Structure 1
Amino acid sequence: MEFVLGGVAAIGAGFFTNPLDVIKTRLQLQGELQVRGMYTVHYRGFLHAFYAVAKADGVLALQKGLVPALWYQLFLNGVRLGTYDFAEKRGWTTDSSGEISTPNCIIVGALAGCIGAVTGSPFYLVKTHLQSQAANSIAVGYQHTHTGCISALWKIYLEQGILGLWRGVFGAVPRAGIGSASQLLSFSLCKDYLGNYEIFAKRPLLNTFTSSMVGGVIVTMFITPFDVVMTRLYNQGTDSQGRGLLYKGVVDCFIKMWNTEGVYGFFKGFMPNYTRLGPHTVLCFVFWDALRGLQTKFVNRQHKKDGTVKVVRS
C-alpha cells in the first residue's frame, strides 16, 4: 500500500507541474554543446519560454509528454516514496534512541531514488523525447518523431531492443540518488524539527507544506547539473547500433559540456527546475501525507469494528 500511495501522490503533483517540466527541458537543450552567445536563443528566459511555446505550438503544447510523465511519476515515486516509507516505519531511518539518523536517511533515500529511477526510466525517455518536440522556429536539441507514448515505446523497442528502453538510465541513477537523498533527508529533518513547535504540531498540513518547501530548495541546488546531463543523455539521437550521437555516457557528457558551455551549461533551466521542484515537492508530500492519513483512519476504523485496540499511526 505504501507504494500505491506514493505513486498516486506523485501523479497528482505531476499533472500540475508538467508545463514547468516542458519549459525546463527546452531550456536545458537550448545551445547544446555550443559556446554561449554563438547560437540562436529561442527562449529568452523562464517566462519568455512559456510565451514562445504557446505562440508557436499552442497552449496545449505546455502539457506535452504528460502521459509518460505521469507514468514515470507513478513508477519513480511509487517505488521511491514507498520504499522510504517502508524503511521509515521499520526504524531504518532512525538511530538506537529513536532520533532521525542523517546517514541512514541519506542511504535509504539514495537507494530508494535509484531503484525508482531505474524502474521508471523508459517513461522518462519517452517523456523527454515528446517534451522536446517543437515547431521548427523554436526547436532545440534532437527532434524525435514520436506520435504518442505507446507508439514511442514500441518504436524504440523495435529499433533498439529492450535495452534501448533504458538508454540514458546511467544518467538517471546519480541524479535520482542525490536528489532523493537530499529531498527526503531535508524533508524528514525539517518536519521532525518543526514538530517540536506547537503551531506546527497542531497543524500537520502546515508542517508538511513548510518542510516540503525546504526540501524543494535544497534538492534543486544539488540536482540541477545532474538533471541537465540526464536530459541531454535521454534526448540525444542514436545511430543504427543504438549508440548516442553526441555522448558516450555520463562522464563524456560532463566533459563535453564543460569544454563547450562551461559552468553555465550545468545550470541551464535552473529557474524552471526550482519552480517545478518546489511545487512538485510540496504537492507530492502534501498528497502523500494526506493519503497516508486517510489510510491510517481507515485501518483504525477497521480495527475498532473488529473489536481490537490496535492503533496505527502514520
Structure 2
Amino acid sequence: MPSIKELLKEGAIQIGSGGSAGFVEVCIMHPLDLVKTRLQIQCGNSMRKGDPKYYSGVFDCLRKMYLHEGITSYWKGIVPPILAETPKRAVKFFTFEQYKQFFMFGASAPTPLTFSLAGLGAGITEAILVNPFEVVKVTLQANRAVGKELPSTWYVTKEIVGKHGFGFRGLNKGVTATIGRNGVFNMIYFGFYHSVKGYLAEYQDPVKEFFRKVAIGFVSGTLASCINIPFDVAKSRIQGPQPIMGQIKYKGTFQSMLIVYREEGYFALYKGLIPKVLRLGPGGAIMLVVYDYAHSFLTETFK
C-alpha cells in the first residue's frame, strides 16, 4: 500500500505532466481551433458566398483572416485557453488516473471499459471546470475586430458577467454541450489510446517507440473528434453570437442540434470537422506523448 507521501508525489507528477501537455498543445494548435469555431458559428442562412465574412473552408478562412485581420488574428482568444488548458489538462490526466482506479471494479488490471469510463469521468469533470473559459474564448474568437479595437479577455469576461452573471446565460452558458463534447471525446480518446497501446508491443528503439505513441495518439484524437463534433457545433452555436440580436435561438444541446439539422442539413452538424481533426489528431498525439514523456521524466527526477 503506497504511503501518503508517495500518493501526493504521484499526484503532483500527474498534475505537472498534464499541465505541460496542455500548454504545449494549445500553443501549437490554437489557430485551427479558432478556424473551427468561425466555421461552426457561421449560420447557413445568414451569410452568402459573396460576403467577405463567409468562409468556404479551412484555407479560405485562414486566407481571409490574414488579409482582413492580420496574422496575429490566428491567436485570437488564446489567453483563456492558456489560462484554462494548463490546469484543465492537469485536471484531465489527474482525474483520469483516479477514475481509473475507481472503475477497476476489483480487477487486477484495467480493461478497455475501465479506460473508457475513466475518460468519461475525466471529461465531465474537465468540462465543468473549463466551461467559463470556453464562453470567453468563443466570444473572442467570433469577434472580427482588429488591433486595439479587439477587446481584452478581462473586458469580455466582465461584460459577460455584468450582463448575464455566472449562470446558464452567462459564464456557464452551454455547459451541458461542453459536458457532452468533453465527456464523449475523452471516453473514446483515453479508451482507444490505452487499450490499443496495451495490445501493440513496445519498441526497444526510442525513435520507433516515439512514433508508435504518436500514431496511436493521432488515431485516438481523430476518432474522438469525428464522433463528438455534433456536441461541439451545438456548443459553439449556444456560446457564440445569436443570429438575431436580442433573441436566443440556440438554447439547449439537443435543441440546437435539431435546429441545425432542420435548417442546414445533416452535414451542418459536422461543420468545422476538418480543422478539428487537423487540430485534435496531432494535438491528441502531442498531449499524450508529452504527458507520457513528462511523467517519465518527473518520476525519474523525483524518485
Which category of TM-score, normalised to the shorter sequence, fits these structures? 0.7 to 0.9
Q: Which runs of 5+ in 1 are unaligned?
A: 137-144, 301-314
Q: How does 1:68-87 map to 2 (within 5 A)?
A: 68-87=80-99
Contact 2:189/2:220, CA 8 A, preserved across alignment: yes
Q: 2:296 aligns with which of 283, 293, 296?
A: 293
Contact 1:56/1:135, CA 8 A, preserved across alignment: no
For 2:195, the aligned partner's letter is L
Question: In the alignment, what sits opposite 1:148?
Answer: 152
CA distance, structure 2, for counterparts of residue 48 and residue 291 of structure 1: 37
Contact 1:216/1:277, CA 8 A, preserved across alignment: yes
Question: In the alignment, what sits opposite 2:214?
Answer: 209
TM-score, with length taken from structure 1: 0.82
| Distance of aligned partners of 1:247 and 1:201 in 2 relative to their CA distance in 1, 3 Å threshold | same
For residue 34 of structure 1, report the CA deviation from its aligned partner: 2.4
Q: 1:236 aligns with which of 233, 241, 250?
A: 241
Q: Deviations over 1:5-38 (max 9, x none)?
A: 21221111001100001111111122x1529978
Contact 1:201/1:207, CA 8 A, preserved across alignment: no
CA distance, structure 1, for counterparts of residue 46 and residue 75 of structure 2: 30
For residue 80 of structure 1, report the CA deviation from its aligned partner: 1.3
Q: How does 1:156-305 map to 2 (within 5 A)?
A: 156-163=160-167, 164-194=170-200, 196-198=201-203, 203-237=208-242, 245-300=248-303
For residue 215 of structure 1, report the CA deviation from its aligned partner: 0.5
Q: Deviations over 1:156-188 (max 9, x none)?
A: 112222222111111101111100100111111
Aligned Cα root-mean-square deviation (Å)? 2.7
Question: In the alignment, what sits opposite 2:15?
Answer: 3
CA distance, structure 1, for counterparts of residue 26 and residue 96 of structure 2: 19
Q: Secondary structure at the match of 1:13?
A: helix
Contact 1:33/1:256, CA 8 A, preserved across alignment: no
For residue 193 of structure 1, report the CA deviation from its aligned partner: 1.6
Contact 1:35/1:261, CA 8 A, preserved across alignment: no
Aligned residues: percent identity?
23
CA distance, structure 1, for counterparts of residue 15 and residue 202 of structure 2: 30
Question: In the alignment, what sits opposite 1:130?
Answer: 140
TM-score, with length taken from structure 2: 0.85
| Distance of aligned partners of 1:128 and 1:200 in 2 relative to their CA distance in 1, 3 Å threshold | farther
Q: Secondary structure at the match of 2:271?
A: coil
Contact 1:105/1:181, CA 8 A, preserved across alignment: yes
CA distance, structure 2, for counterparts of residue 48 and residue 252 of structure 1: 30
For residue 205 of structure 1, report the CA deviation from its aligned partner: 2.4
CA distance, structure 2, for counterparts of residue 178 and residue 279 of structure 1: 18
Question: In the alignment, what sits opposite 1:304?
Answer: none
Q: Which runs of 5+ in 2 are unaligned?
A: 1-11
CA distance, structure 2, for counterparts of residue 183 and residue 7 of structure 1: 18
CA distance, structure 2, for counterparts of residue 184 and residue 193 of structure 1: 14
Q: How does 1:67-106 map to 2 (within 5 A)?
A: 67-88=79-100, 90=101, 92-93=103-104, 96-98=107-109, 100-106=110-116
